[in-house]
Structure 1
Amino acid sequence: MHSETLEYTVDGESFTGYLAYDDSIDGERPGILVIHEWWGHNDFVREQADRLAALGYTAFALDMFGSGKQADNPTDAAALMNGVLETPGAVKQRFHTAMDLLQKHEIVDGARIAAQGYCFGGAVALNMARLGLELKGVVSFHGTLDSDIKVEPGTVKAEIQVYVGGADDMIPADQVAAFVKEMQTAE
């Protein structure tokens, strides 16, 4: 297995991602962007990238907050997350920069890119699909399902999988039902 830390910039700010792939496989393979929880880019998201790499993908655990920005309590995590969410265009720009980096990697089939996220990252992945980014698939684990983005039929290009807990207070049943209706309406 090959893994490396990648430093990159978005709007002059430093970000630190993590790239992993099985170097015993020849040729191009699909790429997966792995988006962290509100805690920031940490060991969990890097472990998920390693697992996906072991399955034959090139996985890039991107950084949505900036190099070294992590939280260890909900108050700080919310501040990091809201700082990005409240900055116009920041989520899309940071995601798109990481996606471009992954697509251009020499062992990645740039036409086969997916995104997988957890909690905050799951919501980011879903919103990138809602915006119509050229993603083959999106997987959201415990990501909020509501969004201000209004999806029109034909906008979503990605196949979508969403995993939420039936008794999850953060994602109540009415939010799930509204999401199902939204996706049906968007075809």
Structure 2
Amino acid sequence: MFKALISSIALILMAASASAAVKTENVDYKEGKTELEGFLAYDDSVTTPRPAVMIVHQWMGLSNNEKMRAQMLAEKGYVAFAVDIYGKGIRPTTTEGAGQLAGQYKNDRKLYRAREMAAFNWLKKNKKVDPKHIVVIGYCFGGMGALELGRAGVPAAGFVSFHGDLSNPTPKDAKNFKAPTLILHGAMDNYVNPQVMPFLKEMDENKVDYQFISYSGAVHAFTQKDAGNDPSKGVAYNEKADHRSWDVFMNFLNEVAPVK
């Protein structure tokens, strides 16, 4: 009995130690002269380079939601970098302000890509990272960003969009995808649904390796817990779709950038 008690205590201490190994830090970096501030999470008990995930935020800017996802990924052994598109200290406090900022980048894809490339290049040079195994993911506005890097021909290991904007002013750019792509979509997302068929058409015509998964009952922002619970408003959290999409995403990571 005493030995069993000691073993149980040892297991608890080991679990606590593993959890404590995840470190987080704010990261200052630049795109041109623009100052940006991202959020990095990693397990500092790992000493060799490992796969990484770059996380692009939704329209409200880098928030606790992206930081939470980064920590979840760090616990799985990844280096996770939640990036900043808008600029250091620029975090809209209203949906009107967020709409204006997101619209600026939606209408200027070149600038959007430049902001993302600044983050991607910073992450690629990080000594903790295996530069050949970086996956780019994004939520809503950030889902569009993940797809934009694919369209730009960035040599990532994979691209993932969670309830992202699928619009593309230059459909021919789909030919530039160099890695498998995963789109996780809410079946009742009326903001994005009109974009679905043109998107699938351009992906098929350009022979992109993609998976498109649609979740019944889910509207826009279905992974965002702060989106409320009223689907009639067009945005709402959906616990089942959130968990299912995360499981599919983890399977995708294990395929394209597994932690060894």
Q: TM-score, normalised by structure 2?
A: 0.68
Q: Return the structure number with greater helix share.
A: 2
Q: 1:123 aligns to what?
A: 144
Q: 1:8 aligns to what?
A: 29
Q: 2:178 aligns to what?
A: 157
Q: 1:182 aligns to what?
A: 202
Does the residue aligned with 1:26 lie in a helix, a strand or coil? coil
Q: Which has the greater radius of gyration? A: 2
Instruction: Give the total of aligned pairs.
Output: 186
Measure how far apart 1:69 and its partner are. 1.0
Pick from 1, 12, 19: which aligns with 2:40? 19
Pick from 45, 58, 66: which aligns with 2:66? 45
User: How big is each residue's C-alpha offset from its partner over 1:92-134, in whole Å with a ceiling of 9 and x where there is no partner?
Assistant: 1111110010000001011111101000000010111012111
Percentage of pairs with the same residue: 33
Q: TM-score, normalised by structure 1?
A: 0.93
The alignment's C-alpha RMSD in Å is 1.5
CA contact 1:127–1:149 (8 Å) conserved in 2: no
Q: 2:102 aligns to what?
A: 81
Structure with higher RCO (Cα < 8 A, 6+ apart) = 1
Residues in 1 aligned to 2:172 and 2:67: alpha-carbon distance in whole angstroms: 31
Measure how far apart 1:19 and its partner are. 0.7
Q: Return the structure number with greater strand share.
A: 1
User: How big is each residue's C-alpha offset from its partner over 1:44-87, in whole Å with a ceiling of 9 and x where there is no partner?
Assistant: 11111111111111111010000111123211101111233445
Query: Structure 1 152/72 Cα, relative in aligned 2: closer, same or farther at 3 Å?
Result: closer
Does the residue aligned with 2:135 lie in a helix, a strand or coil? strand
Bigger Cα displacement from structure 2, 21-30 vs 147-156: 147-156
CA contact 1:131–1:151 (8 Å) conserved in 2: no
